[in-house]
């Protein structure tokens, strides 16, 4: 999945689980929802070696739980912390259902304790690689599909509420 789907689910998690409706918690929820894809940055720095393989080290329960727990220390204890952990886990749930055409197929859910790979591919994937390969009509359609399923419903249901949050000075000052 792209950051569109992960951010849509993180936005939903923020609305449902956060007791603190401010920009800091919103940013944290979106950051945690996308955090396992930090491996794309590893690829930029290290190339396609062990660190640069997508979904190898960062798409597992251990990485997500530790990462979400560390990020949760930035906010006071409460249901916001549990919400962050659930949003982190949602990343794995979304990625496990994407059709994965690149070996190794799937995610290592129990890594580093097990190398077993899991994939229940039903959702279309994005083609990656060169810029021309990424800027295709097919990829555009996949991103539109993700937005229609994971982002638009959240904005339709809670859009007015979100605009209210954004208009409040307290949203930006806390």
For the entire predicted model, the pTM comes to 0.90
Q: Which residues of the chain have pLDDT under 50?
A: none
CB contact at 8 A, 32 and 3: no
Domain ranges of the chain: 3-173
Cis check for the bond before 112: say yes or no (omega within 30 of 0). yes
Q: Which tens digit of pLDDT belongs to each residue from 149-160? A: 999 999 999 989
Angle between helices 137-146 and 3-17 (to 10 degrees): 10
* pLDDT score of 127: 81
pLDDT tens-place string over residues 66-99: 999 999 999 887 889 999 999 999 999 999 999 8
Collapsing DSSP to helix, strand or coil, 53 comes out as: coil
Radius of gyration of the chain from its Cα atoms, rounded to whole angstroms: 17
């Amino acid at each position: 999945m792209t950051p569109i789907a992960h951010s849509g689910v993180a936005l939903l998690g923020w609305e449902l689980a956060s007791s603190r409706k401010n920009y800091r918690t919103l940013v944290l929820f979106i950051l945690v929802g996308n955090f396992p894809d930090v491996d794309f940055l590893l690829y930029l720095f290290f190339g396609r070696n062990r660190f640069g393989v997508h979904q190898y080290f960062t798409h597992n329960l251990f990485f997500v739980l530790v990462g979400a727990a560390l990020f949760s220390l930035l906010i006071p204890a409460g249901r916001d912390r549990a919400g962050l952990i659930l949003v982190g886990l949602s990343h794995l749930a979304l990625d496990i259902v994407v059709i994965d055409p690149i070996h190794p197929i799937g995610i290592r859910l129990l890594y580093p304790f097990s190398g077993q790979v899991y994939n229940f591919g039903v959702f279309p994937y994005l083609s990656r690689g060169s810029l021309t390969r990424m800027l295709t009509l097919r990829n555009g359609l996949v991103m539109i599909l993700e937005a229609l399923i994971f982002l638009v419903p959240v904005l339709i249901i809670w859009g007015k509420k979100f605009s209210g949050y954004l208009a409040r000075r307290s949203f930006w000052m806390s």
